[in-house]
Amino acid sequence: MASLKELKNRIKSVKSTQKITKAKQMVAAAKLRRAQAAAEAARPYSQRLAKVMGSLASKVAGSDSAPLLLRGTGKDERHLLVVVNTDKGLCGGLNANIVKAAKVKARELIAAGKQIDFYLVGRKGRAPIKRDYAQRVRQEYDTSAVRQLGYTEAEAIAEELVAMFAAGQFDVAHLVYPVFKSALAQDPTVVQILPVPAQAVVADAPPAADAVVDYEPDEETILGALLPRYVRTKLFTALLEREASEQGASMTAMDNATRNAGDLINKLTIQYNRSRQAAITTELIEIIAGAEAL
């Protein structure tokens, strides 16, 4: 049984931990408001761009003159999984769920006889993926030194992916990232980003009334300029969703940790009081026994 001093020190230690988790919860709550607002503000732009892309892609899909990013390499053998994880921990099971979704997709592709590689964004997803697929990690993009993720990082990742695609290093690229729904729910999702699937673009776009549109220049030229922007926008949206998901998951995890610390403090305090009362009772019995002996 722990001594009174040990119990007192442990209560003090848990209280210090509770102060830290409470502070991190408040910081995550403050950051969540900004991150959520940024993620929600980017969604209408992404949907509007998808609408324009859907209109153009439906006209040239399947044509030999379509841009490479739309028509693809003509093969479906080498797949690249772009996994977007966080750089920091203490956010519950968020990163574990993202890695799990990536591994499920990887196993599906391997079972279908495909070759897979990984492009890792964020530090927390590296170790669990390298543990099972060390030889298949093609590239890593470090965002740990970036104070505020923005369009610059999305553009750098997109340009690297487009260059790899143009060089024939892979045939299909899938983006794995969390979608922020609330502080309690962040769902990992897997979408194809290269080649840009025309049917997916149309599905992402809001319904619009049919109209006859004349394009100047032609559709292929416009698509050649818009397709890289569409890829950058998808990656930018994924990074914003990651930030909102990270702060939401961190706030929830720290709130749970604070509550658990409070429960542990209550249990330790009861145990301390009982031990202290037992010690006092023992001392009283010894004093009374000694007085009676005299």
Q: How far is residue 34's CA from residue 240's CA, in Å, rounded to a whole number? A: 10
Burial class (CB in 10 A: 0-12, 13-18, 19+), 288: exposed
From the candidates 42, 49, 91, 172, give the one annotated as an active-site residue.
91
In degrees rounded to 5, what are phi and psi of residue 80? Answer: -115, 125
State how far Cα 266 lies from the chain centre.
35
* Catalytic-residue membership of 141: no
Q: How far is residue 240's CA from residue 42's CA, in Å, rounded to a whole number? A: 8
Those residues whose C-beta lies under 8 Å from the C-beta of residue 97, and which sit 6 or more positions away, are: 178, 186, 188
Q: Which of 193, 282, 201, 205 is nearest to 232 (CA)?
A: 193
Residues linked to residue 204 through DSSP beta bridges, in sequence order: none
What residues are annotated to the active site?
91
